[in-house]
């Protein structure tokens, strides 16, 4: 037992609480998938609930039901997570299930074939959903050239290439004790829980997996249009993308306030007002930022009818360029700041959310108590800071426009109203 390396632990004791929330995060996410075998990490995590050397899949779930506990799985680019909810007086028994799934998963060929078939069916179904396939393809094309572009769930082609032995190898190579972050909140004793968890993780590999070097995605320069050809619909899916901002960037909180004005969750946001309320071109119109260990992208989305798509795209570009040039008003700033400060209370309103935030801080490498200090960070932002952040971070020289629909019918209407550096037409069903 000498020189055993433990995970990073984050414990919050709440004396008298009959529940324990446990979050186990592996700092090897779907970005570690080998090229051509996208979906491997996600499949490996899913198989942890498909039986172990001690329990068959049926026995495992019967035991879980008997204990009244819950185990949920989440897959992200930069982490794989296991969320456990247990009654305090059943915690030891739940930890035995956790030990079995983490240390000795069966990866049986029978269960592997089942999950492979299920995933292929789900991906085939996705091709029939404009919402799902457009969101996937937008990120794949926008972030092309970056490991972040590859879908966590893989593709029909990549899932077919994955073998049962690949799952065994992924578990062996990446499920390493020092690569885990383990958080817990509830009525447990920290010393006792740490001792029990150390016993579990001591059975895993003790050498950290080699770090995967990833660079910030590069958005193509200029204004570019990708028409993703899918015939038959009466509506189109429109996305626009540009450069992102990282969580720790000094401009991040100012740009959050700015984006709330432009296309955030408020019905008074400019995109919603201009595209939905005034013109009725789409039920919703939104914008957002995505970030991880690297800044990822800025995105916009709306769903107009075929005949309104050209005008809607032109208006969205106009709104974005005006926003980049002139920023927001002081009145808009005041409303957005107060709104986001009020909303921030719901980021920490449950034990599960608090725990998830603390684990995310550790996985992504954010400053300690980043989310606990979220509201105070927003409170300190000034109007001048927001205007300067817009000038620095809203990049009108890089704008990727993505439209899913009948390319032959849409191309003329879109390109007549908006000029593009380059126009591509791709088949929606083909993997980029």
Residue 344 — pLDDT band, cuts 50, 70, 90? very high
Instruction: For 231-252, write each residue's pLDDT tens digit.
Output: 999 999 999 999 999 999 999 9
Same-fold call for 8-201 versus 222-427:
yes
The residue written with tokens 């709440």 in the block is 14
Give the 3-state DSSP-derived string for 133-172, with helices as H, strands as E and coil as C.
HHHHHHHHHHCCCCHHHCCCCCCHHHHHHCCHHHHHHHHH
Question: Residue 211: pLDDT above 80?
Answer: no
Q: How buried is 337 (Cβ within 10 angstroms: 0-12 exposed, 13-18 middle, 19+ buried)?
A: buried
222-427: CATH class: alpha beta
Instruction: For 368-393, write each residue's pLDDT tens digit.
Output: 999 999 999 999 999 999 999 999 99
Question: Residue 322: pLDDT above 90?
Answer: yes
Could you give the CA distance from residue 245 to residue 257 in angstroms, rounded to a whole number? 13
**Domains of the chain by residue range:** 8-201, 222-427
In the structure encoding, which two tokens stand for residue 46, read together?
């899913």
Residue 431 — pLDDT band, cuts 50, 70, 90? confident
8-201: CATH class: alpha beta
Could you give the CA distance from residue 367 to residue 247 in angstroms, rounded to a whole number? 10
Instruction: For 276-317, write each residue's pLDDT tens digit.
Output: 999 999 999 999 999 999 999 999 999 999 999 999 999 999
User: In the prediction, which pLDDT does 432 show?
Assistant: 87
Question: Residue 128: pLDDT above 90?
Answer: yes
Question: Residue 1: pLDDT above 80?
Answer: no
Question: Residue 212: pLDDT above 90?
Answer: no
Q: Tell me which residue of 194, 403, 365, 152 sits closest to 282, measured CA to CA.
A: 403
Phi/psi for 170 (5° steps) reads -60, -45
Residue 78 — pLDDT band, cuts 50, 70, 90? very high
Which letter, b or e, does each residue of 268-290 get, where b requires 16 or more Cβ atoms within 10 Å of its Cβ?
ebbbbebbbeeeebbeebbbebb
């Amino acid at each position: 037992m000498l020189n055993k390396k433990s995970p990073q632990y984050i414990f919050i004791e709440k004396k008298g609480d009959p529940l324990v929330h446990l979050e186990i995060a592996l700092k090897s996410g779907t970005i570690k998938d080998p090229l051509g075998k996208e979906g491997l990490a996600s499949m490996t995590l899913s198989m942890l609930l498909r039986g172990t050397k001690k329990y068959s899949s049926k026995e495992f779930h019967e035991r879980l039901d008997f204990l009244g506990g819950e185990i949920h799985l989440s897959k992200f680019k930069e982490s794989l997570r296991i969320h456990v909810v247990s009654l305090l007086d059943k915690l030891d028994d739940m930890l035995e299930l956790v030990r079995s799934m983490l240390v000795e998963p069966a990866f049986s060929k029978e269960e592997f074939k089942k999950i492979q078939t299920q995933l292929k069916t789900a991906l085939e179904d996705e091709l029939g959903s404009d919402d799902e396939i457009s969101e996937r393809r937008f990120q794949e094309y926008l972030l092309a050239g970056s490991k972040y572009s590859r879908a966590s769930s893989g593709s029909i082609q990549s899932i077919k290439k994955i073998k049962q032995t690949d799952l065994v190898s992924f578990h062996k190579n990446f499920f390493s004790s020092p690569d885990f972050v383990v958080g817990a909140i509830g009525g447990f004793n920290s010393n006792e829980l740490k001792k029990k968890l150390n016993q579990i993780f001591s059975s895993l590999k003790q050498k950290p997996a080699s770090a995967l070097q990833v660079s910030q995605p590069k958005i193509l320069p200029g204004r570019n249009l990708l028409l993703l050809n899918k015939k038959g619909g009466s509506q189109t899916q429109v996305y626009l993308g540009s450069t992102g901002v990282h969580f720790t960037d000094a401009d991040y909180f100012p740009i959050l306030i700015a984006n709330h004005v432009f296309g955030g969750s408020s019905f008074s946001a400019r995109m919603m007002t201009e595209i939905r309320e005034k013109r009725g071109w789409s039920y919703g119109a939104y914008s957002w930022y995505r970030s991880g260990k690297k800044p990822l992208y800025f995105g916009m989305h709306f769903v107009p009818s075929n005949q309104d798509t050209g005008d809607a795209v032109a208006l969205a570009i106009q709104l974005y360029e005006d926003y980049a040039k002139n920023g927001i008003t002081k009145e808009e700033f005041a409303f957005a700041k107060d709104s986001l400060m009020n909303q921030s209370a719901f980021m920490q309103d449950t034990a599960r959310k608090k725990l998830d935030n603390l684990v995310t801080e550790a996985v992504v490498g954010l400053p300690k108590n980043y989310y606990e200090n979220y509201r105070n960070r927003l409170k300190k932002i000034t109007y001048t800071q927001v205007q300067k952040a817009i000038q620095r971070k809203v990049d009108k020289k890089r704008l990727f426009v993505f439209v899913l629909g009948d390319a032959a019918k849409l191309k003329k209407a879109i390109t007549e109203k908006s000029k593009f550096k380059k126009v591509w037409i791709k088949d929606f069903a083909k993997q980029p």
